[in-house]
Amino acid sequence: MSSPTTEVPKPKTRPKLPEGWRWVRLGDVTKVVGGSTPKTGIKEYWNGDIVWITPADLGKLSTREIYSSGRKITQLGYESSGAELVPVKTVVMSSRAPIGHLGIAAVPLCTNQGCKSFIPSESIDSVYLYFVLKQAVPELQLLGRGATFLEISKTQLENYFIPLPPLETQRRIAAILTEQMEAVEKARKAAEEGLEAARELPEACLRSAFPTVPITVNTAPAPKGWRWTLLTDFARLESGHTPSRRREEWWGGDIPWISLSDIRALDGKTAIQTREYTNPEGIANSSARVLPAGTVVLSRTASVGFVTVMGRPMATSQDFVNWVCGPELEPWYLAYALMASREYIRSLGSGAVHQTVYVPVVQRFRLLHPNLETQHRIVAELNAKLEATQALIRSLEAQLEAIRALPAAILRRAFSGEL
């Protein structure tokens, strides 16, 4: 490690620093150390008591302190590898993609070649160094080079400039950042938990709209005011098909064609657009049928249980079963009933590779339903509740995004002298 340089040329691209701060090379205030790996085929080199860190270990850290690792090496393995045992308070960074995972050694340790270690001199606080490198990660990632994987070299790191205030200021900044980052982390966890709970609300709303799971293939007594009816008694069951892929002229028309690649995005929504379109010739030369707006669509293979309602005349692939509802059945009532029965419907699937609900099973579907007026009321209430839950989810997602942006903003303020 070279002695801290008192006169370091400030790169023109670097902003002006507060009084008493200076730009320094990392190599002037730290000793940058690479890592190495003992030969994996020699048992005597492994399962010892020396902590050996990889980028994967750094990526799994829940705190900044490094106490242990996925694998340890023996003294013999350490000596054979040419690695350097770095002391406590050394800052360790993954220098090979993904570049920028960081930790501070809480025990003496060594690393593999995918990491670089920064042994701090007396002129730089290790926690300050950790945070200044954390702030620099996006820029350091841009310096990565390599044909197979991106990596930042020891020389590049030694020549990287960081802002350095007096030691007392470094320690004050490190203490403030530690406190603020801990508060942000608590807020992030709380926001994630809130968002996870909010994402469960739509399913809860659907379940609460029905006295029991509203689809079955068995007979069961109906609650007062409700009836079990064979679904095909008041909805026409239709399957789908795929026009031949070898006939390009059958594709690219104006008839929307729902496939499995559409259905996750369409789940619980009205289908207007699809990724692929067919044309009258494609329909005429296949078993596909153009079904009317209001047709309820259920995926029955691979992605079993996703539901959409056609917002215009469309066709589907054979991965779906479709119901054209009669006058006594509100399409969205059926759609919500299918969504509320998703887990039950999935339990009816069979198949070694992909679960499939076969058409003979679907033909046995019985629907729990009230009269048409009550169906309309249930749909209106569910529409309002689901719209409110989606608004809540969007709000919480925006809140979480803002919280996740806070660390970068805090670090920028810290290293421009605003703390």
pLDDT at 147: 77
Please check the confidence at residue 90 and state whether its pLDDT lies above 80.
yes
Question: Which has more confidence, 2 or 356?
Answer: 356
Exposed, middle or buried, 398 (CB in 10 Å: 0-12/13-18/19+)? exposed
The dihedrals phi and psi of 78, each to the nearest 5 degrees, come to -65, -45
Q: Does 208-370 match 22-165 at the fold level? A: yes
Residue 14: per-residue pLDDT: 76
Rounded Cα distance between 115 and 101, Å, is: 9
Digit-coded pLDDT (tens) for 190-219: 999 999 999 999 999 999 999 999 999 998
d(CA 49, CA 153): 28
Q: How far is CA 362 from CA 14, 218, 235, 353, in A?
A: 67, 12, 12, 20
Q: What confidence category does residue 9 fall into, taking pLDDT thresholds of 50, 70 and 90?
A: very low
- Please give the pLDDT value at position 352: 66
Which CATH code of 3.40.50.720, 3.90.220.20, 2.20.25.190, 3.20.20.80 fits the domain covering 22-165?
3.90.220.20
* Residue-wise pLDDT tens digits, 289-322: 999 999 999 999 988 999 999 999 999 999 999 9
Q: Are 308 and 263 in contact (CB under 8 A)?
A: yes
Checking if the pLDDT of 255 tops 60, the result is yes
- What's the topology of domain 208-370? Adenine-n6-DNA-methyltransferase TaqI; Chain A, domain 2 (3.90.220)
Residue 106: the pLDDT is 97
Which of 350 and 187 is assigned the larger pLDDT? Answer: 187
pLDDT per position as a tens digit, 35-80: 999 999 899 999 999 999 999 999 999 899 999 999 999 999 988 8
Which residue from 102, 110, 104, 100 is spatially nearest to 90, judged by alpha carbons?
104
Q: Does residue 363 sit in helix, strand or coil?
A: coil
- Token duo for residue 123: 């002129």
Whether 6 shows a pLDDT value over 70: the answer reads no
Average pLDDT, the chain: 93
Measured CA to CA, the distance from residue 20 to residue 329 in angstroms comes to 77
pLDDT for residue 7: 42
Map out the domains of the chain as residue ranges.
22-165, 167-191+377-419, 208-370
Segment 235-250, tens digit of pLDDT: 999 999 999 999 999 9
For residue 230, the number of C-alpha atoms closer than 13 Å in the C-beta half-sphere is 8
More confident residue, 5 or 414: 414
Closest to 128 measured CA to CA, from 155, 159, 156, 162: 162
Confidence of residue 119 (pLDDT cuts 50, 70, 90): very high
Work out the average pLDDT over 338-363.
Answer: 91
Going edge to edge, which strands form the sheet with 320-325? Answer: 235-239, 320-325, 296-299, 307-310, 270-271
| 49 or 148, higher pLDDT | 49
Beta-bridge mates of residue 73: 46
Percent of the chain whose predicted confidence (pLDDT) is above 90 = 86
Are residues 299 and 331 in contact, defined by beta-carbon separation less than 8 angstroms? no
pLDDT for 146: 85
